[in-house]
Structure 1
Amino acid sequence: MAKLLVDALWALIEPLMPPPKPRRSRYPGRKPLDDRAMLTGILFILQTGLRWDLLPREMGCGSGMSCWRRLRDWQAAGVWDRLHEVVLAKLRESDRIDWSRVVVDSSSIRAVGAGQKRDRIPPSARNLVQSIPLAVILTGANRHDLTQLHTLVDAIPPIAGKRGRPLSKPRIVQGDRGYDHDKYPRPLHAAGIATEIARRGHPHGSGLGKTRWVVERTISWLHNFRRLRIRFERLAFIHEAFIKLPCCIISWRRLKDSFC
């Protein structure tokens, strides 16, 4: 359990948790399980890919449905969005984010539960030698990458960590041939964001692969969380929680490495 949720990560998460619901003075019922224990159970499901009903009771996390409901409540309360912003701010404070460019890409996964949204598209920023997921959105697998370009970049949260206004607008957005269209990059250009996109019909060798590899590795890291390899969740916001939480963990690992 300690390896799933170490003290340093829990210290960032605990202040962001919503306060517990007040208990009735009469017939208060059973005492709610500890937040840290419940989050450990959620991380166990995320890492192993097990079904909720197979969560081992001996871990002290309660039932799988109890963990599911707690994940639902935390997602509704915006815990993972706030955690991601906190970690990104700390990364910027330690000069670990190269804000000169972000890279976008998509990854489709099989949805066995007939979920309505199946696509995850994370933009990654470069740091010195690593990659950092900045934002993620869900779309249907039938939505083309380029139609989500502006929405995806717009989902990047304001990144504080230093004096002055938070950063939220990268200088350059890079993408593969799937984003090659004259129409959809225009909102980015109007906002002062340049684009570097491989052109269709042109031979390989654009040179973008030297910087675009960071998003490919980020997607690979996301797939290391077995629950993300196949979507079992029918509800989109539960699957979204299962994507945002790993983005926070990946970013936190980069933060931890910067102080090693």
Structure 2
Amino acid sequence: MGRGDLTSREWSLLRAHLPPAGGRGGRWSDHRMVVNGMLFRVRTGVPWRDLPERYGSWKTVCERHRRWSADGAWDRILQAVQADTDLAGRVDWSMAGVDSTSCRAHQHAAGARKARPRVPRKGTTPRHHRPDEGLGRSGGGLTCKIHLAGEGGCRPLASLVTPGQWGDAPQMTEVLGRIRVPRLLGGRPRTRPGRVSGDKAYSSRRNRRYLRRRQIKHTIPEPKNQRANRRRKGSAGGRPSGFDQEHYRRRNEVERTVNRLKNFRAVATRYEKRAYVFHGTVTAATVRLWLRP
């Protein structure tokens, strides 16, 4: 076992949720070796061709990561690992924090063809495929943004990749809508935390209505301009939104979650041309965080 590879405990938690090790044309290579190769690349950010020889053919590792990103296998693996952790009672549902982080795109991430990308099966579109490829251009160059919701244990519950210039507030509903943790003992999947916290960037009437409709408490500060505008309207401006300073002190949990996620160099800097492949890279890093004790 090399540095950073899956331990025997982590492999025992993961192996039951992996796709069958077989496919057209023969059996796949050993799952553990290839999965360790994928996680090594996510952790270090090296080019696929520079993977150490102990992980086998770099092309096999790269192609399997692309396939799992395209057909949503990484998302299914993440939900299964989250379900196991929730069954053990190690998921903090009392509060979920929402936040975003910008990732600089490497020059190799540019230049994707505008035509629909190659997919595993004819006539299908990869999950999380975006026509804009999740890239935006600003004064600093090409960037993308990762929006996420994290639980109290500093692990992401769901994530979303968008171009770097997109705002935070409009993406909150989509990120929270992606939270879906199955219940292994039966019942509907868990989709609602007890409370949601966010900074001033997430303060909007649309977001507050969405949270009230789903019966989720919120701790989101109101910016000065919104507060002044509400007071200017008088009774027509509505009542001030509730804000609990004690709950807001837990805001650092989602910021620590972002920090842990960006310790993976292939997440901190985007190298993939396709948005769905980069989403798979972010999800693979998330799975690695959930496997840790």
CA distance in 1 between counterparts of 2:40 and 2:89 reads 32
> What is the CA distance between 1:209 and its match in structure 2?
4.4
1:152 to 175, 189, 193: 175
Alignment size in residue pairs: 241
> What is the CA distance between 1:32 and its match in structure 2?
4.3
Q: Is the 8 A contact 1:104 1:174 kept in 2?
A: yes
Q: Is the 8 A contact 2:103 2:270 kept in 1?
A: yes
Q: How much identity, in percent, do the aligned residues show?
A: 29
CA change 1:183–1:23 in 2 (3 A) is closer
2:117 aligns to what?
A: none
Q: How does 1:130-169 map to 2 (within 5 A)?
A: 130-162=153-185, 164-169=187-192
Q: Is the 8 A contact 1:133 1:218 kept in 2?
A: yes
Residue 171 in structure 1 maps to residue 165 in structure 2: no
2:274 to 232, 235, 255: 235
What SS does structure 2 have at the residue aligned with 1:100? Answer: coil
CA distance in 1 between counterparts of 2:45 and 2:92 reads 33
Q: What is the letter of the counterpart of residue 56 of structure 2?
A: C
Q: What is the letter of the counterpart of residue 133 of structure 1?
A: P
CA distance in 1 between counterparts of 2:34 and 2:290 reads 22
The CA RMSD measured in Å over matched residues stands at: 2.2
Q: How does 1:21-40 map to 2 (within 5 A)?
A: 21-23=23-25, 32-40=28-36
1:218 aligns to what?
A: 257
Q: What is the letter of the counterpart of residue 47 of structure 1?
A: R
CA distance in 2 between counterparts of 1:150 and 1:235 reads 24
TM-score for the superposition, normalised by structure 2: 0.75
1:124 aligns to what?
A: 150
CA distance in 1 between counterparts of 2:92 and 2:55 reads 41
> What is the CA distance between 1:171 and its match in structure 2?
2.4
Residue 43 in structure 1 maps to residue 19 in structure 2: no
CA distance in 1 between counterparts of 2:188 and 2:275 reads 33
CA distance in 1 between counterparts of 2:99 and 2:156 reads 11
CA change 1:189–1:4 in 2 (3 A) is same
CA change 1:16–1:176 in 2 (3 A) is same
> What is the CA distance between 1:45 and its match in structure 2?
0.9
CA distance in 1 between counterparts of 2:29 and 2:155 reads 33
Q: Is the 8 A contact 1:16 1:79 kept in 2?
A: no
CA distance in 2 between counterparts of 1:161 and 1:211 reads 29
Residue 12 in structure 1 maps to residue 13 in structure 2: yes
> What is the CA distance between 1:215 and its match in structure 2?
0.5
Q: Is the 8 A contact 1:137 1:152 kept in 2?
A: yes
Runs of at least 5 residues in structure 1 that lack an aligned partner in the other structure: 25-30
What SS does structure 2 have at the residue aligned with 1:135? Answer: strand
CA change 1:158–1:40 in 2 (3 A) is closer
Structure having greater relative contact order (Cα 8 Å, sep ≥ 6): 2
Q: Is the 8 A contact 1:80 1:245 kept in 2?
A: yes
Q: Is the 8 A contact 1:12 1:83 kept in 2?
A: no
Q: What is the letter of the counterpart of residue 42 of structure 2?
A: L
Runs of at least 5 residues in structure 2 that lack an aligned partner in the other structure: 113-132, 135-143, 228-243
Q: What is the letter of the counterpart of residue 106 of structure 1?
A: S
Residue 67 in structure 1 maps to residue 69 in structure 2: no
CA change 1:244–1:199 in 2 (3 A) is same
**What CA deviation, in whole Å up to 9, does each residue of 1:211-251 have, x standing for no partner?**
11111111110111111121111011111111011111112
CA distance in 1 between counterparts of 2:250 and 2:50 reads 41
CA change 1:86–1:60 in 2 (3 A) is closer
